Amino acid sequence: MMFGVVIAAILAAMVLALVRAFAGPSLYDRILAGNSFGTKTVLLIGLMGFITGRPDFLDIALLYALINFAATLAILRFFSYRRSQEEAS
Amino acid sequence: MIDMFAQFWTDIELLRAIASWACFLFGGLAVISGALGIVRFPDFYTRLHAAGVTDTGGAEMILLGMLLQSPNWIVAVKILFIGAFLFFTSPVATHAIAHSAWMVGFKPLEGRELRYKEGGE
């Protein structure tokens, strides 16, 4: 019950973040929505572990938090390198 | 010592449940309001503000509620690790996005412009 309420809230927030990721006018809006979606996925994985009675899922949540942070920085760095190459050519 | 703490932890179960409800309700409210802000706000920097505040605040509140419900100490330690990691990396990621958008040349809307855009959409 307790976890069900907050899982519903997080799922609603994830849908809204996806709306912005698809509709976002600029590249950075999409990256922002993706980052926010990833943070909510970490919370969702942890809560799913609690609601199914297997808190071992928290390991996966911790790993996902690491991957999400590295992926956001990697995507930003990728686009900044691509832009500097376009300026050079 | 650990046995005493485990006994104490089961004794305050009702108190923990109430505190968890409070944390989950506040955290869920923060997460949903932040997501609404991401969809509804008029320009990129205001959306970044909405996402940045709720990603740290709401996530920490929800993790605190999970921490109060943890059945044994190793789960509590894992949740503390996730909380500490999100507490430091979420603002760093937000700052990285803002910095790279500023470097590309995004300008924030100001004053009347902001109000006009808000009514226009």
Burial class of B51 by CB neighbour count within 10 A (0 to 12, 13 to 18, 19+): buried
- Give A48's contacts in chain B (Cβ within 8 Å): none
Which residue bears the tokens 């949540």? A61
Q: Does a structural domain hold residue B69?
A: yes
The confidence band for B11, taking pLDDT boundaries of 50, 70 and 90, is confident
Least confident among A7-21, A30-44, B35-49, B98-112: B98-112
The C-alpha R_g of chain A, in whole angstroms, comes to 16
Cα separation, A20 vs B40, whole angstroms: 9
Minimal Cα distance from B25: which residue of A? Answer: A6
**The pair of three-digit structure tokens given for residue A64, joined into one six-digit string:** 């996902």
Q: Does a structural domain hold residue B47?
A: yes
Do you know the residue count of chain B?
Answer: 121
Q: What is the reported pLDDT for B121? A: 45
pLDDT tens-digit readout, B101-111? 888 877 877 76
Is the CB of residue B31 less than 8 Å from the CB of residue B62? Answer: yes
What are the structural domain ranges in chain A? 2-88
- Give A11's contacts in chain B (Cβ within 8 Å): none
**The pair of three-digit structure tokens given for residue B115, joined into one six-digit string:** 């109000």
Q: Does a structural domain hold residue B98?
A: yes
Nearest in space to B61 (alpha carbons), one of B19, B11, B118: B19
Cα separation, A16 vs B33, whole angstroms: 10
Q: Which of B28, B39, B92 sits opposite A19 (nearest CB)?
A: B39
- What DSSP string describes A8-72? HHHHHHHHHHHHHHHH-SSHHHHHHHHHHHHHHHHHHHHHHHHHTT-TTHHHHHHHHHHHHHHHH
CB contact under 8 Å between B89 and A65, yes or no, is yes
Using the 8-state DSSP alphabet, how is residue B12 labeled?
Answer: T
Alpha-carbon torsion angle B33, A43, B69, A60, nearest 10: 180
Q: Does a structural domain hold residue B116?
A: yes
Domain count, chain B: 1
pLDDT tens-digit readout, A24-38? 788 889 999 999 999
**The pair of three-digit structure tokens given for residue A69, joined into one six-digit string:** 């942070």
The complex's ipTM works out to: 0.85
Cα separation, A38 vs A23, whole angstroms: 18
Is residue B117 pLDDT above 60, yes or no?
no
Q: Which domain holds residue B37?
A: 11-120
CATH topology for A2-88 is: Helix Hairpins (1.10.287)
